[in-house]
Amino acid sequence: MNKICFFDTKPYDKVYFDTFKEKFDIEIDYFESKLNVDTAVMANGYEAVVAFVNDTIDTKTIDILYKGGVRIIAMRCAGYNNIDFKAAYDRIHVVRVPAYSPYAVAEHAMALLLTLNRKIHRAYNRTKEHNFSLVGLTGFDLHGKTMGVVGTGKIGRIFIDICKGFGMEVIAYDPYPAKDTDIQYVSFEELCKRSDIISLHCPLTKDTHHLIQKDALTIMKPGVVIINTSRGALINSEDLLNAIKEEKVGGAGLDVYEEETEFFYEDLSYSIMRDDILSGLISMPNVIVTSHQAFLTKEALSNIAEVTLQNLKDYFDGNGLENEICYQCTKQNHCDKNPHNRCF
């Protein structure tokens, strides 16, 4: 039986990975620590590690993992912006779960929008206190409003369908437009100018880092609502906070935050919050922050566990790594490697 180690374990991960481990003949040692330069040594003697979105897999971490015998990192997520692929290339394979439930994320984006717009979060707290006043709870009809979707991949396209179900007009920006759809593509600038709501569904790359910052916010419609379920650093959080204070932005639903690694997934309710921007955002009545939970459905957790363990079994069996991603793949952006081969 092959033995692997698993970083940043949460109880809900364990339930689903334990369900599948026998099927793939893999033994799992669960660690609660995040994977980073200080904890990488815990993987000494293991050939495979499982990691997640807020692990810091930089050059130093990769050097320690490689020295300790690690030859594959299985990401139990789709995004991979937290890995130094250049450092891993030719030494440690990296595999991921390209899609586990695009519905989970798209539905969470809409949940954030509906909650924000109809002030459900505020109404919930009021009625708990027997305060049945409606003052300050006015929303707007989504029907007929313009939704701007940035990134029309798996999640973006499902989100577009959901929006159309609400009778919204949808426009989209994507430098690689889908050819097989009737999506109405516009430039990023036009999307900013025309949208009543903007929802981000693109990956975090050099090009998309701080895509939403002061200049973009300035040209947006007054009262625009921004939803981000992709990656925190797509938005310059300080600029967003300022735009909310100036009442330029009418609401923000954020499942991700650019400095989330320090906070998300942990119970810090007894600690002093030292991030003034996060604190400022959370304190706004028209901002909802969820801690990177858009993926968290039973279906997604089950798919994540099954595909991650299948990826590892393929590695141990010497097969091709269909879900491998490497420095070359990321450089070329749309690498069409043969799934029957390994990247190196």
Residues that bind ligand NAI (CB under 6 A): 78-79, 99, 102, 105, 150-156, 173-176, 201-203, 207-208, 229-231, 255-256, 292, 294-295
Catalytic residue among 231, 258, 306, 324: 231
Active-site annotation holds for 210: no
In whole angstroms, the minimum distance from the beta carbon of 41 to ligand NAI comes to 29
Exactly one of 93, 96, 108, 260 is catalytic; name it.
Answer: 260
Rg, Å, the chain Cα set: 21
Q: For ligand NAI, give the closer residue by CB, 63 or 322.
A: 322
- 130 an active-site residue? no
- DSSP code for 100: S
Q: Are 49 and 5 in contact (CB under 8 A)?
A: yes
Between 205 and 341, name the residue whose CB sits nearer to ligand NAI.
205
Burial of 2 (0-12, 13-18, 19+ CB in 10 A): middle
**Spatial separation of the C-alpha atoms in residues 56 and 65, rounded to whole Å:** 12
How far apart are the C-alpha atoms of 152 and 208, rounded to whole Å?
14
| Minimum CB distance to ligand NAI, residue 235 (Å) | 13
Catalytic residue among 107, 157, 292, 324: 292
* Closest to ligand NAI by CB, 26 or 294: 294
**Is 231 a residue of the active site?**
yes
Strand order across the 224-228 sheet: 169-173, 146-150, 197-200, 224-228, 249-254, 287-289
CB of 324 to ligand NAI, least distance (A): 15
Closest residue (Cβ) to ligand NAI?
A: 153
Q: Which strand (E) or helix (H) includes residue 125?
A: helix 120-128
In angstroms, give the least distance from the CB of 101 to ligand NAI: 8
Per-state percent for the chain, helix, strand, coil, to nearest 5: 35, 15, 45
Three-state secondary structure call for residue 309: helix
Closest to ligand NAI by CB, 168 or 256: 256
Which is nearer to ligand NAI, 144 or 175 (by Cβ)? Answer: 175
- What span, in angstroms and rounded, lies between the C-alpha atoms of 234 and 84? 19
Q: Decide: helix, strand or coil at residue 322.
A: coil
**Residue 134 C-beta: closest distance to ligand NAI, Å:** 32
Query: Active-site positions?
Result: 231, 260, 292
